[in-house]
Structure 1
Amino acid sequence: MPRFEVKQSSNLELTSHAGLGLIGQCFEAAQVEAVLDSRFPVSQGMKTSDIAKSMTALLCLGKSDFEAIEPFRNDRFFKKALNLSKVPGSVWLRQRLDAIAGGVREYTDELSLRLLERTGAPITADGAYVCLDIDTFVMDNSGTKKEEVSRTYQGVDGYTPIAAYLGNEGWNIGLELRPGKQHSAAETHFFMERVYGKLERLLAADRHVLLRKDSGFDSAKLLFQCEDERERLTPLGRRLDFVIKWNPRKQDKAAWVARAEQADAFKVARPGKRCALLSQQLERAHGKERRTLRLVVSVTERSIDKKGQHLIEPEVEIEGWWTSLDAAPEEIIRLYRRHGTHEQFHSEIKTDLDMERLPSGKFDSNDAIMHLAMFAYNCLRLLGQLGLTGEISPVRHPAKRRRLRTVLQEIMNRAAKYVEHARRLVLDFGRTAKMHADIFCALQARLSRLGAA
């Protein structure tokens, strides 16, 4: 095996995170300084925008702990790429985030909206519908004494944040931290109020939105809120529909079998198994208010299991979906099944952004970091959609979107030589990375043009 001579130059500057140059362009397009510094002014010391940029940049590299900032304190490229007046230390980063955590969350959401608006981010539909997927997920923080860590529905100690994803790309337009023990439906109407306002900014009036939720959100209060929003948008020329999984709770399965038989809806799928699809108009009540809603129900009865074993008593399985659509039951079920794609987006937040175990012991600070993670997620998603799909993409299998991990590998963690000379900033990718250099140039040209607009 050959042996290599190791040399450390005193003049040569290399960076293994050349993609930060594009993240800086995303910050400019989102107008981070204009949004944050006017609301959180400081008389001396580091600007609030520098704190937010530094933390978001770490998240864009898949680093969530405060100590990860230390190697960048003397990194000239990190400072220049993000247009920072100064790079904070880990202690200062933690303390400043603790101080502004309570008020900064609303404005970090504004950063994501401006990024998507001003860059013309593609929001594609699933057929005729732009889908809006809402769900909670579990973040395991067991073995810690952080505020509001408690038992989750998955049986671990941690948090259960709620997230909203828009379009086939999975743009994150809502991400809020919650205590682990909080039920999915609790306080969700407040979250939905904030999400509904964002839809009007991001989508043209002629885009048909389909809201999808799982059975954890099956409550009359949330269903009535969806109906109220539909009625509010109709005079504005907008359309919102929903498909929400039914929670059968203590339903009498035998009664549903009887309803299917009475409607002559059963079809034999195989010997010993028959299935039925029903469309029912049922009344729901919340307080003194009552409304009639459509419920699509799937009833499956098995007298012989899949191995051919005859059962003493038939097994009955019922599933249902509340919906405002007039489509056939088969179409309602097909539309809801694609709701499962959002599980990948949860995974990207927890693993690719390293957000599984949050860095602070304070709940408000962790919530603020979650909102910054939403901004980082959208920055990386934007780079992936603009640079890693289509004609300029590196040779890979065709895809509608790229996972954040792919963006980290192909764009963010790309090595380059950094040079400052004659008022010029140069990134030299070397002769073996022509395709990645072309991607960088194309993305920088588009983002810088939008950021200057």
Structure 2
Amino acid sequence: MNNNHRITLNTNKNIIVEFTNERIIPASGLAVVGALLGKSGFIKKLNRMDITSNRSQHQIKNGDIVLTYLGMLCMGKPYFEAVHEMDDDKDFYKTALANGLVPVDIDVTPMDNSKSKKEGVSRTYKGFDGYAPVMAYIGTEGYAINFELREGKQHCQKGTVEFLQETIKLCHKLTDKPLLIRLDSGNDSIDNVAVLMDTGCFFIIKRNLRRESTDDWFETAKQYCQHVTSPRDGKTIYIGSDWKTVISKQFNKEFILRTGYEITERTIDKYGQFNLVPDIEVETWWTNLGDPDEEIIRLYHAHGECEQFHSEVKTDMDLERLPSGKFATNALILELGMIAYNILRMIGQGTIGGRAPRQKRDVKRRRLRTVISNLIMMAGHVTMHARQLIIGLGKSNVWRHIFSYICQKYAVTNA
């Protein structure tokens, strides 16, 4: 105990704050992160890599650097300077849909890096300066399968054919089940369709109407559509499918594709105001599924869930403003962020059910912010006994039982 660092708070209970020499660490959950990484040969492979001649400290292994940084990322601290917070204690530190298809959601998400001079930062389609990485997630629980950093000004279709091919290969290493690839309208190129058809994937791709007339689509729907509903006065919805012949210029192939559509006519707005001219909204999709039109629409709307995954990467892990001024370094950091993201996702999914604290409602996926705050940044009392490092969790910690379960689940050795 050090009496030089003792403060008495002016409260009714006369609370005293003091410094002690006891080892109490703020991030006991990193033990689980280490256990997960230890089950793979990732760090060993890094250590076998050659160290470049311009490395300032050759005695530090590649694996040690990456392992340390992954720990920082799992705490939501992407800036490497945060490692110095641990200087005082150096001794410690694939689900399918109901139809049997495994969804793979691919989307571009701009990252705001305004007021910086980082390499590759430029104007994005969102109207700010930053990067525009493309991210792919597999399964219904949001595991990351492939991230690629891109310059902000890069068109979302540029490089997408190669990204698709790489992502599909990675997915096939994880599952033998058929894949359902879902893409936004910025990636409705027939070249993407050619790749997906060639690899035997199912797909739903929202179409960009470009120069197609909404009035022509509306007239076609009124004439041929068999599924017409009116959810309220002044609103009529037409749902159906058409067939179009398309050509991939890059692969020189011709396809006849199913084109699903949902056309909404509004003569009265939601406030009861009559429109002088009917408001026509047209949404269409490329697909090779044989499901009913309503199911195609439902499956595509589920694609919007990947926006939540983007938010967790950028906000919960604080990776939106990448720390380096060099593009290649930031690309590596994003790749490491994907590994950390999956580790946190795996830990979070392992807490569903069991003796987890009560929630207001049942959850199917635990947000990374919750995992970081409750399971990674978990205070623990560290002691050494019989050549073992023991982490003690207090009885007031309501997450201690689920933490113990996670440790056992991921093959941490029992005493």
Scaled by the length of structure 2, what TM-score is found? 0.90
Q: % of aligned pairs identical?
A: 38
> Structure 1 358/445 Cα, relative in aligned 2: closer, same or farther at 3 Å?
same
What's the secondary structure of 1:191's corresponding residue? helix
Deviation, 1:73, is 2.9
- Counterpart of 1:272 (choices 234, 251, 257) is 234
Instruction: Tell whether the 8 Å contact from 1:283 to 1:291 is kept in structure 2 after alignment.
Output: yes
Q: Which has the higher strand share?
A: 2
Number of residue pairs matched? Answer: 394
Instruction: Write the distance in 1 (CA, Å) between the matches of 2:229 and 2:169.
Output: 46
Could you give the per-residue CA deviations for residues 280-321 of structure 1, whole angstroms, max 9, x where no partner exists? Answer: 110112224321111001222233333343333222111001
Could you give the per-residue CA deviations for residues 232-262 of structure 1, whole angstroms, max 9, x where no partner exists? Answer: xxxxxxxx31111111111112211221222
Instruction: Tell whether the 8 Å contact from 1:216 to 1:247 is kept in structure 2 after alignment.
Output: yes
Matched, 1:345 2:355: no
Instruction: Write the distance in 2 (CA, Å) between the matches of 1:248 and 1:35.
Output: 48
In the alignment, what sits opposite 2:195?
Answer: 225
- Counterpart of 1:445 (choices 404, 408, 411) is 408
Alignment of 1:308-347 (within 5 A): 308-347=272-311
In the alignment, what sits opposite 2:33?
Answer: 23
Q: Which AA in structure 2 matches 1:390? A: G
> Structure 1 213/395 Cα, relative in aligned 2: closer, same or farther at 3 Å?
same
Instruction: Write the distance in 1 (CA, Å) between the matches of 2:265 and 2:121.
Output: 41
- The structure showing larger relative contact order (alpha-carbon pairs under 8 Å, at least 6 residues apart) is 1
Q: Which AA in structure 2 matches 1:60? A: C
In the alignment, what sits opposite 2:8?
Answer: none
Q: Cα RMSD over matched residues?
A: 1.9
- Counterpart of 1:137 (choices 91, 106, 109) is 109
What's the secondary structure of 1:317's corresponding residue? strand
Instruction: Tell whether the 8 Å contact from 1:244 to 1:323 is kept in structure 2 after alignment.
Output: yes
Alignment of 1:24-423 (within 5 A): 24-40=34-50, 44-79=58-93, 123-203=95-175, 205=176, 207-230=177-200, 240-265=201-226, 267=228, 269=230, 270-287=232-249, 288-386=252-350, 388-396=351-359, 397-423=361-387
Instruction: Write the distance in 2 (CA, Å) between the matches of 1:264 and 1:147.
Output: 51
Deviation, 1:362, is 0.4
- Counterpart of 1:7 (choices 12, 15, 18) is 18
Instruction: Write the distance in 1 (CA, Å) between the matches of 2:336 and 2:228.
Output: 51
Q: Which has the higher helix share?
A: 1
Could you give the per-residue CA deviations for residues 188-215 of structure 1, whole angstroms, max 9, x where no partner exists? Answer: 1111111111112211x3x232111111
Deviation, 1:322, is 0.6
Could you give the per-residue CA deviations for residues 48-75 of structure 1, whole angstroms, max 9, x where no partner exists? Answer: 0011111111010010112111122342
Which blocks of at least 5 consecutive residues in structure 1 are unaligned? 80-121, 231-239
- Is 270-279 or 411-420 further displaced after alignment? 270-279
Structure 1 stretches of 4+ with a deviation exceeding 4 A read none
Which blocks of at least 5 consecutive residues in structure 2 are unaligned? 1-10
Instruction: Tell whether the 8 Å contact from 2:354 to 2:402 is kept in structure 1 after alignment.
Output: no
Deviation, 1:182, is 1.1
What's the secondary structure of 1:291's corresponding residue? strand
